Amino acid sequence: MQGLHLTADLHHCSCASAWLLDAPLLGVACRDAVQAAGLQAVGELFHAFPATAHGPGGVTATILLAESHLCVHTWPEQRAVTLDVYVCNFGADHSAKAQALLDGLVALFMPGHTEQHSVQRGSLR
C-alpha cells in the first residue's frame, strides 16, 4: 500500500471550455493520459453536474488504476480544476508514472496558477 499521492489545484485554466464541461470528452483525455503515462486503467466513472445559478455545471472523471486512482473535478465557473493521482508501489515504483500523468493533465488544462502537494502514503512510521 506504500505509494505516492499527488494533488494539483489548477486556477485560471485557459484551455478550451469543453475540457471543463464535457464529461465524455474529458474521460477520453483521462484515459489517454493514463495510457501515455504507462499506468493501467481497470474502471472508470464520469459524472456531469447540472448548471447552477453560478454557471454551467462541472464534471468529475475518475479512473480506477491497477496502481490506485485518478480523480479530476472541474469548476468551469471558476476556470479551475483539482487533480488527484494516487499510485501504490506494489511490485514496482510508479512514482515517475504518477508525475507524468499529473503533468500531462496539467498541460491539458493550461492553468495560470497551480498549487501542488505530494503525500507519501502507507508507510508505517
* Residues that are catalytic: 68, 73, 88
Report whether 87 contacts 65 (CB < 8 A): yes
Question: In angstroms, what is the minimal distance from the CB of 78 to its own copies?
Answer: 6
Partners of 100 in the β-ladder: none
Nearer to its own copies, 31 or 121 (CB): 121
List the one residue out of 46, 101, 54 whose CA is nearest residue 76: 54
Instruction: Confirm or reject binding of residue 31 to its own copies (CB under 8 A).
Output: no
- Applying the rule CB under 8 A, the residues between 41 and 60 that interact with its own copies are 42-45, 47, 49, 60
Burial 39-74 (b: 16+ CB within 10 A, else e): bebeeeebebbeeeeeebbbbbbbbebebbbbbbbb
Residues of this chain that bind its own copies (CB under 8 A): 1, 5, 7, 9, 11, 42-45, 47, 49, 60, 62, 64, 66, 68-69, 71, 73, 75, 78, 80-82, 84, 86, 88, 90, 113, 115, 117, 119, 121-125
